[in-house]
Copies of this chain bind each other. A is one copy, B any other.
């Protein structure tokens, strides 16, 4: 295989059917932003949307905007806009609370549907917050619940599932290495033993076509601030399959989950639809940014985004082999792009200062304990030439040893 060149990358950009969307995002000059998997970039339309929401809807409309600016239906309306990205129907998704709070709700909901079972299956490599939430749920429910976790590096989740399992709870795309679980295979395995499934879609939604309905998945949660570009800490979403909506119940029984919140009944009667998963009053300013971020997905094809995501990550892995092979990076992500999300991770014992040295050279990736260097390639705004530039700068950093400078060793907090 011939070495790839800079010109090969610019040619790929010229032929890229998704390239037109880059200009719709605010991106700082002289910066290659490979952390959209942690916080998505700012869509230009969101600037105006936020100005309208703050100055017109809040400032001028005041309390009237709950009706007139349709704030009150935002959880359901935004859910309906996310639905096509995850293979759900209108009425199956609601935007509400955070991913962790939502996981608490659906995990309790699932366990209530399987009262005769006492095992939660997940994996050691799950996003830690999801594991923490399952601890919190087991403690508050009491009884004899136990967790069965797939060990790190193992993929045989089916072997953990038997007739004692109430629910299988997994991240669709692994937060560290980008490994994709086979949603259909896992869901079938769970259902064949009578267990329910919960997917955390945070690291895939917006870059991978997801088919919750087609795989017959039961529950899902996910966040709005990564590839959905909904802003820092954006409200999360929650999916329940239609067939379960009537019977399912959840424990965070706040007023906006009531069937008639403004009747001010003293007794809780849950809505009979997805609204029953709303709890308190939603933070509208943050919702406005989520809605605006979703607008682009009404025009961009998720299949084209996925195709470009595979090509960007393939290119990165190939260029790393070509330019950085001797510097001790160990690929942690799957080589097969079908099994890989839109991010690529390497282990490197000096990962932390290397990421800092890259930031100093205008490439923002991120570092995850203990030794993981992680790059996210958001197809809507990352170019092939950005991949070339990243590897070239990384190679120069490793070649020169500039990552050894004292200023790159100091630890901060990164999310």
Contacts and interface: CB of A to CB of B under 8 A. Distances in A.
Contacts of A126: 266
Q: Which residue, A58, A137, A225, A257, has most C-beta atoms of chain B within 10 A?
A: A58
Of A71, A231, A252, the most chain B CB neighbours within 10 A belong to A252
A185 B55 CA distance: 43
Contact of A285 (B35, B55, B57, B286): B286
Contact of A235 (B60, B142, B283): B283
B413 A100 contact: no
Contact of A62 (B41, B140, B252, B282): B41
B366 A63 contact: yes
B368 A264 contact: yes
Nearest to A68: B412
Given A66-B232, A283-B233, A414-B66, A136 B101 contact: no
B268 A136 contact: yes
Interface size class of A (residues with CB under 8 A): 35 or more
Interface in A263-296: 263-268, 279-287, 289
A108 interface: yes
A395 to B, nearest CB: 23
Contacts of A289: 54, 285
Contact of A254 (B42, B132, B225, B231): B132
A19 B233 CA distance: 37
Contacts of A46: 54
Interface in A232-256: 232-236, 251-255
A343 B253 CA distance: 27
Interface string A119-142: 000001011110111011101111
A58 B232 contact: yes
A58 B25 CA distance: 12
Given A58-B231, A264-B368, A369-B263, A129 B98 contact: no
Given A67-B413, A281-B223, A414-B262, A136 B253 contact: yes
Contact of A232 (B26, B65, B140, B251): B65
Interface in A40-84: 41-42, 46-47, 50-51, 54-55, 57-60, 62-67, 71-72
A333 interface: no
Contacts of A149: 266
Quick one: which of A101, A139, A140 has the most chain B CB within 10 A? A140
B265 A128 contact: yes
Q: Which 9 A-B pairs have the closest CB atoms?
A: A98-B280, A100-B254, A136-B253, A129-B255, A100-B280, A283-B286, A232-B284, A132-B268, A42-B59
24 contacts: A26-B60, A42-B59, A50-B54, A54-B289, A57-B232, A66-B415, A71-B232, A71-B233, A97-B101, A98-B280, A98-B283, A128-B265, A131-B267, A132-B253, A132-B258, A223-B281, A232-B283, A233-B281, A233-B282, A261-B415, A281-B415, A285-B285, A285-B286, A286-B286
